[in-house]
Structure 1
Amino acid sequence: MYFLYDLLVRIAGLLLPVLALFKPKLRSFLNGRKQVWHYLETYLEPGKPRIWMHTASLGEFEQGLPVLEHLREAYPGHQFLVTFFSPSGYEIKKDKLPGVAVCYLPLDTARNARRFLDKVSPEIALFVKYEVWPNLFRELGRNQTPIVMFSALFRPDQAYFRWYGGLLRKSLKKVSLVYVQDQASIDLLSGIGLPDARIAGDTRLDRVSVIAGQDNRLDFMDRFAGNRICLVAGSTWAEDEEVIVPFLNNHLPKGVCAVVAPHQVGASHIEHLETRLQAKTIRFSSATQEDLERADVLILDTIGLLTKVYDYAAVAYVGGGFRTGLHNTLEPAVFGIPILIGPRFDKFREACDLVREGGILPVSDAQSFREAILPLLEDGEERQRIGAINRRYVEENTGASIQITQGVRTLV
């Protein structure tokens, strides 16, 4: 199995440069990896004990950050390395974490796995959610390096539990500690011979609690929102915008403003969105103070600010629930506001919980969006009632990172 897997990864490595000619994100994926070996030689401090955390992308990094911060406090003499698989995480966090080395994870060939671990020599390897790389896990096992996986959420349709998932199951069994979010994940893992997984919850709840307690003031949002009620539509895709734009064009009440923060901030997408909006619209990247005060809709054509912008929202819409995969609903939930999402949310535990409790309202089209959001914008008491459900959910479910950190400390 390992031979075939390694062959497929190497073939993919040969094909990717061709595909990268047409995909800018893929070019970043490949160009960044060319620097990995030099980066490790330059930034890793010889002789220092090392803790390594791998995350797929930005969302998983935010999920792992509370554990990383606890461990940095507990082990001030260690060096920390964070690796990313996706450019959307690496490009934002490179050179932004003082005292932490940040680089891409090389493609998971057997040769790369050996070379990477020879250079890094971690005391422990932490994997956020369910990132499983068979060659890396095999080499970590050979080196007797403990592996900890946390904030994992397993489902029956995943490859680990299907007939073709033998190699992934074999890799999972090399994990020293698995921390999952719910009992269903425990039951699934027990069924494939991993009876010792532990429920700790989701570290994203710890992360958003920290965000809610920090200074989220933004000068441009003070100018734009002023004393108006603010709707924030975060991480939207084209399908989400099909639902939102008709409302902004035809039904936005007086005294209400809106921020649209697309997940894709490339020029072509932003231009297309801007041409469809008939309300007074301004882009963040080109807005003057006067523009912000006059506009009714602000397009947030940048990344890294959305978590703070949610603090200005009276109501939030979180994108991805029509096709691509729902984005983080906990980021607005912590601010105690109602949340709307698309219809596909069954793979997201917190969304399922909050839909059931009434803090998140799913919509299926432009009409249902309008019917759901208008009462929220017009009725402050109803906003507060629904928002309180979301805030309470976050407050009652924090603490996962402390439990996980305690487990990690038994292995370092």
Structure 2
Amino acid sequence: MLLLYTIGIKIYTLIIWIFSFFSSKAAFFISGRKQIFKQITEKTNISDQNIWFHFASLGEFEQGRPVLEKLKELYPQKKIIITFFSPSGYEIRKNYALADGIFYLPMDSKKNAKRFIEIVNPEIAIFTKYEFWYYYFKELSKNKIPLFVISGIFRKEQIFFKSYGGFYRSILKYVNHFFVQNEESDLLLKSIGLSNTTISGDTRFDRVYENSISPKKLPEIEAFCNNSPVLICGSTWPEDEKRLAELSLKYPNWKFIIAPHEIDGSNIQNIQTLFPQAIKFSEWKSQRSKPQSQVLIIDNIGMLSSLYQYGKLAYIGGGFGAGIHNTLEAAAFGLPVIFGPKYHKFQEAKDLIKIAAAKSISTTEELITAFEYFNQNQSSSAAAKNYVAEKKGATEVILKNINF
């Protein structure tokens, strides 16, 4: 099985290389790893007290960020080394101020893992939510470097819990401690003989709560809203935007701010076709005399978490594709949320529906009904906000159990 795993990673790398000729994201994935060990060697010191954080992408970074920042506060002499697997994380956070080194993770192989651990020589390694790399985990264990998984979440349909998942179970055995989000994850790990677990909750609640009490002010957005009720549409995809376009026609007194998941030129152009009167944020910001418009399209990355402070209601994209994006950022500001039908892998979405702070929709008619419901039921706002506040605290639990 190890041979198949190794071959699979090589095939995956080859496929990404082929796609790099057509996709900017794939191109970043490949180019970012060129001379990667030279970069790591130049920016790290083997004699430093290094803490290694690995994140799959931007979402996992924001999830693990409260733990990272608290550790830096408690141990300012220690160095923070961050790796990302995906360009979506690296390209946005490559200049993050609290890190002493930020890199793409070299692809998992025996040689790469050995070389990386030798150069960085971390005191501990912390992985957020998922990504379980055999060679890296084995090399950490071999060097007696503690490995923690924080905000871990497991489901019974994952390969770890199948009769044929022995190899993948062996990867989990290299983890020193799992801090999991819920009881189900805890029981699943114990069912395969892993009792080194703590139910800590999800550090995302800490992150979004902190953001909600001290958000970055955006004067241009405040000027656009101009005291109108605002629907913030976060991480949207074409199937979401089609329905939102119809909704905007029905409610001309509402402002719509659309922050799409993909901001390449062609996608922004497609959104402008759906919303002919819309203005891009880059244009709005640069114009001294602000034109009137119902719809603002955010054509950059990094603003979404601060946008929700200006909204009355949120629509979260992705529910007509692989699954919905982050609902908690909106809920933390007291915004009820609406999303598409594919939400069942997300406990917080199910929880929000249960407390009448969220609704799932499949059609434009259902979107209109949900919109009208939340427009008339102000109690949903308090329910969303209280839900986040009551769930925070995972960071504190984790830090109590990580010792140097």
Aligned residue in 1 for 2:168: 168
Matched, 1:405 2:393: no
Where structure 1 has 5 or more consecutive residues not aligned to the other structure, the ranges are: none
Q: How far off is 1:15 after superposition?
A: 4.2
Report the Cα offset of residue 99 of structure 1.
4.2
- C-alpha distance in structure 1 between counterparts of 2:35 and 2:399, whole Å: 31
Partner of 1:45: 45
Deviation at 1:46, TM superposition (A): 4.0
CA distance in 1, matches of 2:108, 2:383: 43
How many residues are matched? 403
One-letter identity of the residue aligned with 1:234: G
Distance in 1 between residues matched to 2:190 and 2:355, nearest whole Å: 29
Corresponding position of 2:95: 95
Task: Note the C-alpha offset of 1:390.
Answer: 0.7
Q: Deviation digits for residues 170-208 of structure 1, max 9, x if unmatched?
A: 010111110111111111111111123110000000001
Q: Percent same amino acid at aligned positions?
A: 39
- 2:54 is matched with which residue? 54
Distance 1:36 1:125, change over 3 A: same
1:319 aligns with 2:317: yes
> Aligned residue for 1:220?
220
TM-score, scaled to structure 1: 0.94
Distance across 2 between alignment mates of 1:259 and 1:28: 29
The CA distance in 2 between the partners of 1:292 and 1:56, in whole Å, is 39
Structure 2, unaligned stretches of length 5 or more?
none
Q: What is the rounded CA distance, in whole Å, between the counterparts of 1:292 and 1:129 in structure 2? A: 43
Q: Is the 8 A contact 2:80 2:98 kept in 1?
A: no
Matches within 5 A, 1:134-283: 134-248=134-248, 250-254=249-253, 256-278=254-276, 280-283=277-280
4+ long deviations beyond 4 Å: 288-293
Q: Whole-Å Cα distance in 2 between the matches of residues 356 and 292 of structure 1?
A: 41
- Per-residue displacement from partner, 1:45-73 (whole Å, max 9, x unpaired)? 34111110101000000000000011111
Q: What SS is found at the alignment partner of 2:381?
A: helix
**Change in 2 beyond 3 A, CA 1:90/1:185:** same
Letter in 1 for 2:273: T
Q: Report matched runs for 1:124-139 at 5 Å.
A: 124-139=124-139
Alpha-carbon contact 1:134-1:167 (below 8 Å) kept = no
The one of 336, 353, 356 equivalent to 1:355 is 353
Contact 1:223 1:293 in 2 (8 A): no
Aligned-partner SS, 1:7: helix
Contact 1:220 1:292 in 2 (8 A): no
User: Which secondary structure state, in structure 2, belongs to the residue aligned with residue 323 of structure 1?
Assistant: coil
Query: How far, CA to CA, are the matches of 1:292 and 1:349 in structure 2?
Result: 41
Helix, strand or coil for the counterpart of 2:155? coil
Opposite residue 324 of structure 1, the aligned amino acid is A
The equivalent of 1:67 in structure 2 is 67
Task: Pick one of 300, 314, 319 that aligns with 1:302.
Answer: 300
Contact map agreement 1:6 1:110 (CA 8 A) in 2: no
The offset of 1:324, in angstroms, is: 2.1
CA shift for structure 1 position 163: 3.2
Q: Which stretch of structure 1 is more off in the superposition, 36-45 or 178-187? A: 36-45
Aligned residue in 2 for 1:389? 383
**Separation in structure 2 between the aligned mates of residue 15 and residue 303 of structure 1, nearest angstrom:** 26
Q: What is the SS of the residue equivalent to 2:179?
A: strand
In 1, the alpha carbon distance for the partners of 2:23 and 2:295 equals 30
C-alpha distance in 2, partners of 1:119/1:230?
A: 50
